[in-house]
Structure 1
Amino acid sequence: MLTDDGGDPSADLDGVDGVIILGGRHGGHGGHTTSRDGSTAVYAAARALVRDALAAEVPVLALGDGTRLLTEAGGSAPGRGGPPRTPGDGRTVQLTPAADTDPVFAGSGLPSPGLRPATEPLELPADAVVLATCNGYPEQAFRVGTSGWGVRFAAQDAAAVGGRRAGPSLDSWGEALLGRFAVLVAARAEHTATRAFFTRRAEAWEERFAYQTPAYEAAVARMRLMDGGLAVDLGCGTGRAMPALRAQVGPSGRVLGIDVTPAMLTAAARHGRTRLGHLLAADCTRLPLPDASVHGIFSAGLLDHLPDPYAALREWARVTAPDGTLLLFHPSGRAERAARHNRPLDPDDLLAENNLRRAVESTGWHLDEYEDAPGHFLARAEARGTVAGSV
């Protein structure tokens, strides 16, 4: 939780599933000595943290005066908005049509009639979607991108300390809103951690691991794909496998790079991967692809990090044509990775041969090659067709 009252924000997003921003003692509709102009080091650090959270799609909820921090992190100019308008007491806050399909506001019903609209103009980022408005005071609640929400209005009887309001108070309607935000945070927690980890590493990822490119090329060659097919680099990162996949399927084939971290896809585009195929942000367990449409899936270092690898394998089998290929790869063998982390080989490791064979054979695949060598891990499987119970 961030406030603008001088608390030192966390240095990064490690272990953070969601962020709530509250206005502190420097907020309110009057003078603003610490955070309004963005001049203090603490405020600048908080703004940078929120900007990183938005980039990594970590859910952010800003309340009251905390919404200014959200808008500035989202790209609006610091301090922009204009002078306060006349008090908005007695005016009714209404939800916009966009709220009907919003992940947090959908199904929330009308806000309580006693809510006090915010009266200070606020410049919203270019991609903001207004979710609640009021006659004469349009920007009462909004969404920034896919993961940032701002709520500016408060209850008429919000508690005050020392003559100033202590912070936003949204009564029972607002408590329900907080509950829906908490549900969303929990539902996105797995992807939030992944995106937060890889977003701050995306910029240097390609250069850091460029030496592994020949190993990726050799692994893709083992897929033995036909010209004209559709090949998918699943969990593609910066798309290091995409050049080799393009070479396999030829000019008449298609290559698709899929990753859950937008920052990685941005890095992939910067390194020219869009000349080789399309890039798509998606969950690997809910692929936006038709049944039996894929001829080859390449996946490096992904399967054993998923919370439900069996569900993932079933989904991958669903989208793969019969006799299509799945190639699981890592540029290090299991023993090498275990030694790197100072731990013994785990007999329960999903990638151990017996465990992996059981997993793939029960989810619509046939494992026909398995190598756990000192310098790489590789497993190749062929799809038998969609298995019962897959979606």
Structure 2
Amino acid sequence: MSSDATAAAQQFYGRWADLYDLLARKTPGLGHLRGRAADALALDSGDTAVEMGCGTGANFPHLRERVGPEGRVVGVDFTRGMLARARNRAEREGWRNVHLARADATEVEFRDPPDAILATFVVGMLADPAAAVNRWADALAPGGHLALLDAAQTTRWFGWPVNQAFRGLVVASSPTGMDAYERAPWSILDERVETARQALRKRADGTTHSEHALGVVRITGGRIE
């Protein structure tokens, strides 16, 4: 992102963190999809899992369940408001193996390579999603797993009414509004999501892919050599 876009995103997600947290936790079926994304990481007890763009921590329970009390979950986000709520959740639940870092998901570095990286509804916001995917793949321990959970327009035959609703959601959730885009933001989102998946397929030793919610939500995971 440019510096202006980054600042706008930080302000937007900070301002709407409470609503985002409510939607992240209460949207019907979304918890199941978060669990499916965590499954795509093929985690073992004792592993370290990193979530890029962790938001308010809605994925933490799913990741903790899979790494167990001996494992670690690291949440990365660049928005103070989101991290504050994630930190409050971890403290309230007594999650001593959850650690948080305020950083740009495209630039963060790790002292020790993690076993898995998850990015949920993140790559569609990145100007160069392929570069981010490759950077995350490079950061993993050998044999680690990378998984992407995202939403884009459906390609199914009944897609027109579904995509109209989805386009409205994209506009409503855009930090910069329609005026900041040279093209329709949903088209840009579609391209970025697909570009990220192509990059993951190139890097991974085989991938899994599934589509949900009328084809709008996609989960792709792979093992990185």
Establish whether residue 315 from structure 1 lines up as the match of residue 135 from structure 2: yes
* Runs of 5+ consecutive residues of structure 2 not aligned to the other structure: 155-161, 169-183
Establish whether residue 203 from structure 1 lines up as the match of residue 18 from structure 2: yes
Counterpart mapping for 1:365-384 below 5 A: 365-373=204-212, 374=214, 376-384=217-225
Establish whether residue 303 from structure 1 lines up as the match of residue 123 from structure 2: yes
RMSD of Structure 2 on Structure 1 (CA): 2.7
Distance 1:356 1:227, change over 3 A: same
Question: In 1, Cα distance between the equivalents of 2:90 and 2:52?
Answer: 18
Question: In 2, Cα distance between the equivalents of 1:382 and 1:290?
Answer: 21
Q: Give the TM-score of the pair, scaled to structure 2.
A: 0.75
CA contact (8 A) 1:235 1:299 kept: yes
Question: In 2, Cα distance between the equivalents of 1:231 and 1:315?
Answer: 16
Q: Give the TM-score of the pair, scaled to structure 1.
A: 0.45
| Residue identity in the other structure for 1:324 | G
Return the index of the structure with the highest Cα Rg.
1
Q: 1:282 aligns with which of 93, 103, 110?
A: 103
CA contact (8 A) 2:130 2:196 kept: no
* Aligned-partner SS, 1:370: strand
Deviation sequence 1:45-86 (CA, Å, 0-9, x none)? xxxxxxxxxxxxxxxxxxxxxxxxxxxxxxxxxxxxxxxxxx
Counterpart for residue 242 of structure 1: 60
Question: In 2, Cα distance between the equivalents of 1:339 and 1:360?
Answer: 28
Counterpart for residue 174 of structure 2: none
Establish whether residue 231 from structure 1 lines up as the match of residue 52 from structure 2: no
Higher RCO (CA 8 Å, separation ≥ 6 residues):
2
Deviation sequence 1:149-179 (CA, Å, 0-9, x none)? xxxxxxxxxxxxxxxxxxxxxxxxxxxxxxx
Distance 1:317 1:337, change over 3 A: farther
Counterpart for residue 190 of structure 1: 5
| Residue identity in the other structure for 1:334 | Q
CA contact (8 A) 1:334 1:377 kept: no
Counterpart mapping for 1:111-260 below 5 A: 188-211=3-26, 212-260=30-78
Counterpart for residue 172 of structure 2: none
Counterpart for residue 350 of structure 1: 192
* Aligned-partner SS, 1:328: strand
| Residue identity in the other structure for 2:38 | V
Question: In 2, Cα distance between the equivalents of 1:382 and 1:339?
Answer: 34
**What is the deviation of 1:201?**
0.5
* Aligned-partner SS, 1:218: helix
Question: In 1, Cα distance between the equivalents of 2:166 and 2:16?
Answer: 20
**What is the deviation of 1:223?**
2.1
Q: 2:199 aligns with which of 359, 365, 383?
A: 359
Moved over 6 A (4+): none
* Aligned-partner SS, 2:107: coil
Deviation sequence 1:206-238 (CA, Å, 0-9, x none)? 223322323212321232211111101110000
| Residue identity in the other structure for 2:7 | T
Question: In 1, Cα distance between the equivalents of 2:109 and 2:193?
Answer: 26
Higher helix share: 2
**What is the deviation of 1:317?**
1.3
**What is the deviation of 1:259?**
0.3
Counterpart for residue 180 of structure 2: none
CA contact (8 A) 2:153 2:166 kept: no
| Residue identity in the other structure for 1:219 | A
| Residue identity in the other structure for 1:192 | A
**What is the deviation of 1:187?**
6.1
Question: In 1, Cα distance between the equivalents of 2:99 and 2:187?
Answer: 37
Counterpart for residue 52 of structure 1: none
| Residue identity in the other structure for 1:266 | A
Identity level (%): 27
**What is the deviation of 1:312?**
0.9
Question: In 2, Cα distance between the equivalents of 1:257 and 1:263?
Answer: 14
Q: 2:167 aligns with which of 328, 341, 351?
A: 341
Counterpart for residue 173 of structure 2: none
Question: In 1, Cα distance between the equivalents of 2:36 and 2:111?
Answer: 29
